[in-house]
Amino acid sequence: MFTGNPFADLAVFLSPLVMQAYIVLMIFAVAVGTLADMLHKSSAKFFLRQWRKSNAAAKRRLSGAETASLAARTFMKEVATSGEFRNPKRRISHLLLFYGFLLYLVSAVVMVFGYPAEATPAPAVWPVLWNIGALMVLIGGYWFFFFLRVDVAKEGHSPFRLMRADLFIVCLLASVTFALIWEIVQTAHNLAATQIAFGLYIFFTTLLFVSVPWSKFAHMFYKPAAAFQKRVEEANGSSNLPRPAEVRHIGR
C-alpha cells in the first residue's frame, strides 16, 4: 500500500480505457464549466473592457520586457506563493491545498495513462506522490474547513453550516478522502467494498469537476488575471486606486 498504483487494480472490474476516457471528460467539463462561468458573469468582457480602458488612460506604454516581468511577478506572488493572503495560517493552508492537489492530480494522470495495468507497474515514486499530494490536500483542506473559514473563524458559525461558497472545498475533501479510503479498502481484497469505495470516490470527483459554474473552482483563473491587470494599470499610470502611502495618509 502507498507504493503501488491503485488505478492498476481497477482492471479487475473496469477497463483502463474507461478511466482514461473519464479523465478526458473531466478536463472537458472543467473547460466548459469555466467558459460557462465566464459567460454568465461576463468576466471575459469585463477584463477586455478594463484592458481597453487601461490602454486608453495609460500615461506610458509598457515594453514587452516590462509586461513579461509583471506577469512573472504575478505568477510568483498570486500563484506560486499565495502572497495575497495576509493571514499566515490561511496562506499555509492554501499552499498545502494548491501544491497537494497539483501533485495528486498530475500523479493520477500519469498512473492512469502511463501505467494502466498491473502488467506495466508504475515506479513507486508516482503512487507515493499521489498519496503525499492527497495528505497535503486533507491537512490544508480540513484545517481551512474547520478553523479558518471566515464564517467559522470570524462570525462564530458552526463549521457544518454549509453555503454554496463551500461547494468546492467540500467536494474536494470528499473526493480525496474517499480516494484514500478506496486505496486502503483494496488491501482487504473485498471486491464489493472496493467497488463501493471507488463509486463514492468517482461520485464526489465528478461533482467537483462538473460543479465549476457554481463553485469557486474558476476563481483560481480569475484571481491571477485580476492581479496582473492591477499591476499593469499601476505600471502604466492608468490606475485610479490610491497607493499604499496615500491610503495610510487618508487613514490618519
Predicted structure pTM score: 0.84
CA distances from 190 to 54, 108, 144 (A): 61, 23, 34
Instruction: Read off the CATH number of the domain in which 168 is found.
Output: 1.20.950
- Give the pLDDT confidence of 174-231 residue by residue, as tens digits: 999 999 999 999 999 999 999 999 999 999 999 999 998 887 776 666 677 778 888 8
Q: Which three cell numbers stand for residue 1?
A: 500500500
Handedness of CA 25, 29, 30, 31 (dihedral sign): positive
Domain assignment present for residue 224? The answer is yes
Report the pLDDT averaged over residues 231-247. 70
- In whole angstroms, what separates CA 39 from the centre of its chain? 20
Domain assignment present for residue 142? The answer is yes
Domain that holds residue 135: 8-38+65-235
Give me the number of domains the chain comprises. 1
**What is the distance between the alpha carbons of residues 1 and 182, in angstroms, rounded to a whole number?**
11
Domain assignment present for residue 60? The answer is no
Whether 111 and 5 have beta carbons less than 8 Å apart is answered as yes
**What is the distance between the alpha carbons of residues 68 and 54, in angstroms, rounded to a whole number?**
17
- Give the pLDDT confidence of 36-66 residue by residue, as tens digits: 877 776 666 776 777 778 778 888 888 989 9
Domain assignment present for residue 90? The answer is yes
Residues 6+ apart with CB under 8 A from 132: 100, 103
Domain assignment present for residue 148? The answer is yes
Domain assignment present for residue 172? The answer is yes
Q: Judging by beta carbons within 10 Å of its beta carbon (0-12, 13-18, 19+), is residue 117 exposed, middle or buried?
A: middle
Domain assignment present for residue 128? The answer is yes
Domain assignment present for residue 159? The answer is yes
**What is the distance between the alpha carbons of residues 224 and 212, in angstroms, rounded to a whole number?**
17
